[in-house]
Each structure stands twice: as structure tokens, then as C-alpha cells.
Chains A and B, each alone.
Chain A
Amino acid sequence: MTVETVRMVGPPVDRVDGPLKVTGAAHYPADFSFPNLAHAVLVQSTVAAGRIRRISTRLAESAPGVLAVITHEIAPRLGRGPTTSLGVAPPPPLQDDRILHHGQHIAVVVAETPEQAAAAVRLLEVDYELTEPLLDLDDPQAERITNPSWRDIHRGDAGAALASAEVRVEATYTTATETNNPLGLFATIAAWEGDTLTVHDTTQWPYNVRATLAAAFGVPEDRVRVIAPFIGGAFGAGLRTWPHVVLAALAARWVNRPVKLVLNRAQMFTSVGYRPSSVQHLKIGATHTGELVALDHESIEPLSLEDNYLEGLTRATPLLYECPNVTTRQRQVRLNVACPTWMRGPGEAPGVYALECILDELAYELNMNPLEVRLRNYAETHPQSGLPWTSKGLRACYEQGAERFGWSRRTAEPRSMREGRMLVGLGMASAYYPYFQFPTQARATLDRAGTALVRSAATDIGTGTYTIMTQVSAEVLGLPIDRVRFELGDTTMPPAPQQGGSNLAASLGSAVHAACMKLVQAFLDVVRDDPGSPVQGCSLEDVTVADGRISRADAPERGEEYTDILERHGLAELTADGESAIRQDLDLAPGIFGAKFAEVHIDPDLGLIRVARIVAAIDGGHILNEKTATSQIIGGTVGGIGMALLEETVSDPRTGRIANATFGDYLVPVNADVPDIEVIFVGEAEPLNPLGVKGVGEIAIVGVAPAIANAVFHATGQRIRSLPITLDQLL
């Protein structure tokens, strides 16, 4: 059977879940209810370090409507969730009296109504014994972690090559703490029936929530059901099962009623991770003609005291360009801060920012076009392993992106371009993100009505998973899209991995593809010995499917409908399961690539920076749906604008309190900040999976901030080496 999934850019099908989302009928975790639902509100530490000497709950407990106040003094011992492909689980909450960071959960108040719970929180009296918090990356008291993942790279001899390089550039770049801040406040509703727990949760990984809650309460995993059909964004914040999820389930068990817990916006800054700030020292050596001879990249980032996360800031540095001598060093410093986590484009978004800015600095040092420097060091093979790439469309990204953007009209000299009185700057950057694919299962069923139901416990955080999986199912089964229903977000469905690292299109797509192929095979198995069937004895290779019919490939008029087969054999439906398996037979290195071009307009007197235009050229392999994939790239580009110019979580250096934990103070791009964004898809089908996809969610943001930063330099001649770039830095 030939499946028509080889078109490079798939049709711009409207989101299948669109009508639900525009009518308010899509149910996000906080939208569910249970009879007799109680409401929980978290209480968080107002200091960063020390211990709780005394926490007085009497008054809160006696307040109207209050059902319980749970503190570390009375909370049961809770198990820690399993270590997964993403690392350790967060330590369970309320296990002792120690305070490790500002905003740590210290109690949960449960009441009949949210208003009563929130009012009772104000009646808690907490007496802290304070110690001096560690809050500064340079604090000599802080524990330093060297080479945390044993992934530091030493290729050739970067030190010697730098010493003898014809041209050298050194610079230090810093990036601010950013907070994911999905618009949907993270919410958990937990309901126990005996030892069976049902949970609605804001998560990118329902099966991980299931495993973590089972471990916390010592119940078998199959007694926990986690449901998440819609999520109000997450951008990485939903990849771990955070302590508030455990607390919601604990509260429900405590009061023996279903409990709903919704974080408030301030709590979103300390409870579900954030992108850590970074300090990145780079040294680059090149020949007079622009060939790289050495790269040295050291990164330093903060980490919480007793949990783990690594941003991966130097991950792309050895891979993006051909360079014989490369050293990377990752460093972490343990502080009294909440644990950081993945935020869109983790690792690469801030890491490639630094690399692409120093490359721009090198281009000016060489008096060379920045695009030419990148082309001159183009990595035709994977530079670390020497393996050929599975597919690499980066050259096409450069060429088509530059063409669409009009890069050739750039004049080399900084401050040389104007529009009216505005300074005009053009900048560009490369983008790279690793390819990931994880084990996934899916189940496909076709019934007597000719309707397919395909299911897997993945999530759709807004990427378009519902839609593209419906398309894949329809295409493989040969059904119109409106005869296919794809369901996700429920642990009663076959297991799926996290929706993160751009893996899901490949992982889940492969499983759905396999399940649907096996379902067609199941129909052929039924008619193998059926003389009444025109496809009797056919194998998958012998048939085509379209409009609900299986036909002989060599004689398309000889075929029959799926429903005919079910009816003739007295079957209500047929079902098949499929799995995602990454190909192990190819000695090839995969990667996702892009090139970003930005134009900024800067007021020479006020320093006001406006992004005027962005062109993003993306090699994401085969694009399943042009509309949703374009939206992914636009969305990531908007995130990149925020990273470049707006977003910064500000902490008080003495107390560790976050000073701007509101949407009024933590600035994210609004409609008027965002210009026209053009998206181009280039490249070839990725051979590692049957759909040829690479994934586009993460590559969308990588390279945007450096393209803007480089454009700011081109406009002004001022090299601002810290993000976000704000107007005061230009004055």
C-alpha cells in the first residue's frame, strides 16, 4: 500500500478542535467539576531560607467554610515520583520544616468555596527562623556543579587554536530569568473513590502524573486516572508533576471530597518552573577569510538546592558549524531558588543566542557579511560524530530566507540604514534543535458506521496534535477527515510520552501510522480466505485505500468498503495497536534547522525598539499541516520577541522574592508588539520516521532573539550583550 504522506507541505486543514475552542466548549482542567467539590488554596513561604518555627492554623481552621489546613506538621510521608527520560521527579511537598526558596508551598487550605479558602489563608500565622539565603551566582558559599551531565565537549585543542588564531573575539552574554507563564493557570482537580484517584490536571504528560501520584500515595498506577483533553498552554511548565499536583490529591484524600486547586498568577512564577538566567562566556577564533578554528563556550546557570534541571546551554555549539577545535563547559550554582525547568526551546533558545551573537561580532571583525560567515563554516556532516545528517535543509533556509527577507539590501555599516528618522537594522541567525523520538503507542478502531476512532494518551497544548493526527489517520486509512475522530489526554488510552522537545509529531505520528496500517492489515486478514471479497488474499502492498474502500492497486475497480467487510463477517468493529520505534539501522545524525531574519526600527532619540518584520525559514522535515505548523513558527517567533526585548523575571537580591509576578509587571508580547511574520518551510522528509516529520515547536523560537539582537547592533552600532534589550540600554 502506498500512503500519500510524501507531499512536503501538507494541506492547511482547519483545526478539528477549533469549533470547541471558539465556543467555550473545550474543557480545560479548571473547567471540570464534581458533586460536593471543595476548593484548595496554596500557602507559600514569604522567606527564601530557614525553617518554620511555628505555623499557627487555629484561626484559619475556625474560619467560615474551612475544612482543613494541612501543614508539614500533619502531612503524611509521601513517596517521590519515578526518574524518567527527563530526569528526577520533584521532591514531594510538606515533608519537613525547612524553607529552601521564596514561594515554597508551606500549607494548603481547603474550604467550601474559593473565596473562603483564600480568606482563611490570610489568617495563618507563620513564625520563621531565618538564615541567610544564597541568591547570587557569585556567592562563594554556594555549591558549584561542574560538568553536571558529563556532556562537556573537548574536540581538538580549542585553547591552542585560539592562541594562534588570526582573528579572535571574546564576549560574555547574559540572559534573564524568564517565566513560561502559559495563560492557563495550572489547575488540578482530584477525586478519590477508595484507593482509586481521578485527576484533571494541567500537564504535558498524563502518564507521568499518573506514575508520580501513584508513587506519592503508594497506590498501583492503574488505580490513578489522569485526564487532560485541553491545556491552556504550558511551554514546558507541564513536563514535570509539580508538588501542587500532589497537594491537590492529598487535600482530596484529607477531606474525603473532590478538591480543586488552581494556582494564582503569582504562584505560577515559583511553582511550575521557569527558564533560568544564564551567563555565557564565549571565545571564537577564525582565519582572516572567516573559517572557524576554535570555539570555547562556558555557561553558568542557577539551580535549586535539592532538585535537578539542566538547561543545556552549550548543546548546539559543537554541532551548528564545522570547527576543528571546540570546548564546552557547563556550570551550575545551587541557590535558594525554585527549581528551573524547560521553557520553549530549552537549551538552544538562550545557548544559540550567545553563539549567533558572537558569530555576528566575528563577521564585523572580519568585515564580512554575517550570512557568508555561516555559509563558509557550513557543517556538511555532523561535526561531533562525523556521521552524515539524515537530512539538512539549513542551506536552503539561508538562501530562501535571505531572498524573501531581502537580505541583499543590507548595507554593511552599522547606523547606515534609515527609514524617515528611524534607524533601521537587519540581523540574522541560524537555528538548530535536536530531533527526539520516544516510544509511543496508539490504538485505532473502525466500526460498522465507517468511522475510525484513534486514541493515545498524548496531549495537545495548542500545537495541533488533534488535527495532524486526525489527518494522518484519515490518510493512512483512506477515510475522509470527518470520518475520523482522534482522542487524547487520558491515561485509559495507550501510553504516550511527554509533549516536549518537538518529539510528538514524530513519536505519536509513527504510532498512529503503525496502528492505522495494522488496522488495514486486520481487514485484509479477515478476508484472507473470503471468496466474496475482491481483495481476498491481498497483502498491504497489493492494495490502495480511499473513501472508505480497500481496492486492488492493479485493478482499482475491484474493491469494497470497510463496512462491507465488517457486515459480511458479523463484526461490530476491528481494532489494531501500533507503536513508535526509532529506526536503528541508519548510521545518520538527525537535526532540526532554521534561519531567522529580523528587521528592527529604533528611535535614535528615545531608544524605542520596534520589530518591523521577521522571516523564519524552517527545515522541519515533512510538514503535516501548513496552517498549524505556520502557527507554531509564528508563536515561537513571538516568544523570541519577548525573550529579546521584554521578558525578565526580577528577584529581590536580598530576599529572593519575585518582584514582578503579575502580567502587569512581567511583560510578554501583546498584539501591538508583533509585526508581520513570514514563514517558509524547506527541506526533505526525515528518514527516521514513516511520516518524514522532524517537529517544529522548539525550532520556532531558536534564533529569533539573536537575529533581533544582531539587528539592534546593525541599527545602532551598540552591542548589547544581555537579554532583554531595553531602550534604556541604548541611551
Chain B
Amino acid sequence: MDAENSLGDTVRAAPELAVTLRVNGVHWELNLDARVTLLDALRERLGLTGTKKGCDQGACGACTVLVDGKRVLSCLMLTATCEGRDVLTIEGLSENETLHRVQEAFVRHDGFQCGFCTPGQIMSAVALLSEGRATSDEDIREFMSGNICRCGAYPNIVAAIRDAAGRGGDAGV
């Protein structure tokens, strides 16, 4: 439906487009508004609400997911650019009922309080480990500084990642 504004312009409906992508191993064929971010597609279209919206401006890290194995801020990524890509969210991290070792370390070290930033923290930490960057506390602090934790669980987050890095052997996802 189109309408006219006072300048005589028409307000057009946003174009819809088809996107095929894989999320946590599942293929999805989506028809959606071209403006929909990957974050909103996950949360509002696919029901994967584990990924959080903390700012919608790429500044807090709560929406961090892995796309083709690399961490991205899903609030800054349009779903339209995800054609054929492979997305991993917090829901896809643990296998069956077994927690990923980073998830398990976050529980053991109390690496969260309200838990809202936690999915993003954990996805960043998983990527950090697979990138081989979690070699010192200083590095962990530096490379995890894109993920804000307003509850202030940072020392415990560092402890959890240090622990997971030590236990890991193969640091891959």
C-alpha cells in the first residue's frame, strides 16, 4: 500500500526479498523486508531469542554470533547479506544436553549476573579461543572489551575464558 506525503512523494512498502541461510545447521528460506537485520531475523522470525539486543548500534556486543566461523555483530548485519552463509548462535553451541566448555566455565566461574550479555560474551569467547588469542589475561581483557557487561562480571569472565583455554586442547568450536 502506498500513500502520499505533503510533498507529493509516495511512501512505498519496503521491498521483500528471499534469503537462504543456515542457522545452527538448519537451512532456512526466508522472505523478508530488506531492512531486517540478522539480529531481528534470528529473534523475531526464527524464534532464536538467545541472541540479545542491547543497543542495536554495534556498541555493546550482546548480539554477537558467528557467521562462517567469524564473530559478527548481528545488529549491524542485514539478513539480505547472509545469502548462503552459515550462522552459529548460542542455541547451537551445546550439543545435546552437554554444555560447551566455555558455557560450563562461565557457570563455574560465575561469569555473569543478569545473564543478558552472556550469549554474546560466550560467542566472542568461543571465537577468541579458536583464533588462539586467549593466551594471557591481558589479551583476554583486551579482546573481550567489545562485549559490555553492565553487571560488571569482567574478572569472572576472564577467569572463565582462562579456564576454558587451559582445558581445551583443540580450541575450535
The smallest beta-carbon distance between B97 and chain A, in angstroms, is 9
Neighbouring B residues of A24 by C-beta, 8 Å: 48-51, 89-91, 119
The residues in B between 110 and 157 inclusive whose CB is less than 8 angstroms from any CB of A are 110, 112-119, 122, 140-142, 144-157
Neighbouring A residues of B14 by C-beta, 8 Å: 64, 115-116, 119
Determine whether A125 belongs to the interface, using a CB cutoff of 8 Å to chain B: yes
Closest chain B residue, CB of each to CB of A61: B3
Tell me whether B91 and A264 are in contact (CB under 8 A). no
Tell me whether B110 and A627 are in contact (CB under 8 A). yes
Determine whether A639 belongs to the interface, using a CB cutoff of 8 Å to chain B: yes
A64 to B33, CA, bound (A): 11
Q: Identify B53's interface contact among A123, A185, A671, CB under 8 A.
A: A185
Tell me whether A184 and B54 are in contact (CB under 8 A). yes
A673 to B154, CA, bound (A): 9
Tell me whether A671 and B150 are in contact (CB under 8 A). no
Neighbouring B residues of A26 by C-beta, 8 Å: 115
> Which of the listed residues A19, A22, A181, A231 has the most CB atoms from chain B within 10 Å of its own CB?
A22
Q: Identify B113's interface contact among A19, A31, A635, CB under 8 A.
A: A635
Neighbouring A residues of B157 by C-beta, 8 Å: 671
Neighbouring B residues of A18 by C-beta, 8 Å: 106-107, 110, 112
Neighbouring A residues of B40 by C-beta, 8 Å: 114-115
A20 to B91, CA, bound (A): 11
Tell me whether A670 and B151 are in contact in the complex, defined as CB-CB below 8 angstroms, given that A17-B115, A62-B1, A462-B113 are known contacts.
no
Q: Identify A634's interface contact among B36, B118, B156, CB under 8 A.
A: B156
The smallest beta-carbon distance between A364 and chain B, in angstroms, is 31
Tell me whether A19 and B59 are in contact (CB under 8 A). no
Determine whether B44 belongs to the interface, using a CB cutoff of 8 Å to chain A: yes
Contact bitstring A621-647, B, C-beta under 8 A = 1, else 0? 000000110111011111100000000
Determine whether A232 belongs to the interface, using a CB cutoff of 8 Å to chain B: yes
Tell me whether A125 and B6 are in contact (CB under 8 A). yes
A461 to B145, CA, bound (A): 23
Determine whether A21 belongs to the interface, using a CB cutoff of 8 Å to chain B: yes
Closest chain B residue, CB of each to CB of A637: B152
Q: Identify B148's interface contact among A14, A113, A637, A668, CB under 8 A.
A: A668
Tell me whether A28 and B116 are in contact (CB under 8 A). yes
Tell me whether A670 and B148 are in contact (CB under 8 A). yes
The smallest beta-carbon distance between A178 and chain B, in angstroms, is 12
Tell me whether A631 and B113 are in contact (CB under 8 A). yes
The residues in A between 15 and 63 inclusive whose CB is less than 8 angstroms from any CB of B are 15, 17-28, 30-31, 33, 59, 62-63
Tell me whether B6 and A663 are in contact (CB under 8 A). no
Neighbouring B residues of A233 by C-beta, 8 Å: 113-114, 116, 150-151
The smallest beta-carbon distance between B23 and chain A, in angstroms, is 13
Determine whether A243 belongs to the interface, using a CB cutoff of 8 Å to chain B: no
Neighbouring B residues of A265 by C-beta, 8 Å: 54-57, 59
Tell me whether A22 and B103 are in contact (CB under 8 A). yes
Closest chain B residue, CB of each to CB of A262: B53
Tell me whether B114 and A184 are in contact (CB under 8 A). yes
Determine whether B11 belongs to the interface, using a CB cutoff of 8 Å to chain A: yes
Neighbouring B residues of A480 by C-beta, 8 Å: none
Q: Identify A671's interface contact among B54, B108, B113, B144, CB under 8 A.
A: B144
Determine whether B94 belongs to the interface, using a CB cutoff of 8 Å to chain A: yes
Determine whether A445 belongs to the interface, using a CB cutoff of 8 Å to chain B: no
How many interface contacts (CB-CB < 8 Å) are there between A and B?
A: 203
Neighbouring A residues of B154 by C-beta, 8 Å: 634, 638, 669-671, 674
The residues in A between 585 and 635 inclusive whose CB is less than 8 angstroms from any CB of B are 627-628, 630-632, 634-635
Q: Identify B116's interface contact among A125, A232, A676, CB under 8 A.
A: A232
Chain A residues within 8 Å of chain B by Cβ, number:
69
The smallest beta-carbon distance between B146 and chain A, in angstroms, is 8
Tell me whether B114 and A22 are in contact (CB under 8 A). no
Chain B residues within 8 Å of chain A by Cβ, number:
68
Determine whether B158 belongs to the interface, using a CB cutoff of 8 Å to chain A: yes
Neighbouring B residues of A464 by C-beta, 8 Å: 113
Tell me whether B56 and A264 are in contact (CB under 8 A). yes
A319 to B8, CA, bound (A): 68
A662 to B48, CA, bound (A): 25
Neighbouring A residues of B150 by C-beta, 8 Å: 181-183, 233, 235, 668
Closest chain B residue, CB of each to CB of A63: B11
The smallest beta-carbon distance between A693 and chain B, in angstroms, is 18
A630 to B94, CA, bound (A): 28
Tell me whether A64 and B55 are in contact (CB under 8 A). no
Tell me whether A123 and B5 are in contact in the complex, defined as CB-CB below 8 angstroms, given that A115-B35, A233-B150, A631-B110 are known contacts.
yes
The residues in B between 2 and 48 inclusive whose CB is less than 8 angstroms from any CB of A are 3-6, 11-14, 33, 35-36, 40, 43-44, 47-48
Q: Identify A22's interface contact among B6, B107, B141, B156, CB under 8 A.
A: B107
The smallest beta-carbon distance between A567 and chain B, in angstroms, is 31
Tell me whether B155 and A664 are in contact (CB under 8 A). no
Tell me whether A663 and B145 are in contact in the complex, defined as CB-CB below 8 angstroms, given that A15-B107, A28-B52, A232-B114 are known contacts.
no
The smallest beta-carbon distance between B54 and chain A, in angstroms, is 4
Neighbouring B residues of A635 by C-beta, 8 Å: 113, 151-153
Neighbouring B residues of A634 by C-beta, 8 Å: 152-156
Neighbouring B residues of A670 by C-beta, 8 Å: 145-148, 154
Determine whether A74 belongs to the interface, using a CB cutoff of 8 Å to chain B: no
The smallest beta-carbon distance between B44 and chain A, in angstroms, is 7
Contact bitstring A282-319, B, C-beta under 8 A = 1, else 0? 00000000000000000000000000000000000000
Determine whether B62 belongs to the interface, using a CB cutoff of 8 Å to chain A: yes
Determine whether B165 belongs to the interface, using a CB cutoff of 8 Å to chain A: no
> Which of the listed residues A21, A628, A664 has the most CB atoms from chain B within 10 Å of its own CB?
A21
Neighbouring A residues of B144 by C-beta, 8 Å: 671
Tell me whether A631 and B6 are in contact (CB under 8 A). no
Closest chain B residue, CB of each to CB of A39: B44
The smallest beta-carbon distance between B169 and chain A, in angstroms, is 21
A573 to B118, CA, bound (A): 37
Neighbouring A residues of B108 by C-beta, 8 Å: 14
Q: Identify A664's interface contact among B57, B94, B145, CB under 8 A.
A: B57
Neighbouring B residues of A231 by C-beta, 8 Å: 114
Tell me whether A662 and B141 are in contact in the complex, defined as CB-CB below 8 angstroms, given that A23-B99, A462-B151, A671-B154 are known contacts.
no
Contact bitstring B56-69, A, C-beta under 8 A = 1, else 0? 11011010000000
Tell me whether B94 and A14 are in contact (CB under 8 A). no
Determine whether B93 belongs to the interface, using a CB cutoff of 8 Å to chain A: yes
The smallest beta-carbon distance between B40 and chain A, in angstroms, is 7
Tell me whether A631 and B90 are in contact (CB under 8 A). no
Neighbouring B residues of A64 by C-beta, 8 Å: 1, 11-14
Tell me whether A27 and B33 are in contact (CB under 8 A). no
Determine whether A230 belongs to the interface, using a CB cutoff of 8 Å to chain B: yes
Determine whether A145 belongs to the interface, using a CB cutoff of 8 Å to chain B: no
A435 to B49, CA, bound (A): 38
Q: Identify A663's interface contact among B44, B59, B113, CB under 8 A.
A: B59
Tell me whether A672 and B145 are in contact (CB under 8 A). yes
Determine whether A463 belongs to the interface, using a CB cutoff of 8 Å to chain B: yes
Tell me whether A59 and B53 are in contact (CB under 8 A). no
Tell me whether A21 and B145 are in contact (CB under 8 A). no
The smallest beta-carbon distance between A349 and chain B, in angstroms, is 14
Tell me whether B116 and A183 are in contact (CB under 8 A). yes
Determine whether A215 belongs to the interface, using a CB cutoff of 8 Å to chain B: no
Tell me whether B142 and A22 are in contact (CB under 8 A). no
The smallest beta-carbon distance between B14 and chain A, in angstroms, is 7
A398 to B13, CA, bound (A): 66
Neighbouring A residues of B60 by C-beta, 8 Å: 183, 663
Can you report 19 A-B residue pairs in the complex whose CB atoms are below 8 A from each other?
Answer: A17-B115, A21-B118, A22-B103, A23-B103, A24-B48, A64-B1, A64-B14, A123-B11, A183-B62, A183-B151, A185-B54, A230-B114, A233-B113, A235-B150, A463-B113, A637-B152, A663-B54, A674-B154, A676-B155
Other A-B pairs beyond A185-B55, A231-B114, A462-B112, 7, CB < 8 Å: A63-B11, A113-B33, A116-B33, A182-B116, A183-B52, A265-B57, A462-B151
Instruction: Report A's interface with B, CB cutoff 8 A.
Output: 14-15, 17-28, 30-31, 33, 59, 62-65, 113-116, 119, 123, 125, 181-185, 230-233, 235, 262, 264-265, 461-464, 627-628, 630-632, 634-639, 662-664, 668-674, 676-677
Q: 7 closest Cβ contacts across the A-B interface? A: A24-B50, A638-B152, A232-B116, A462-B114, A21-B115, A462-B113, A62-B3
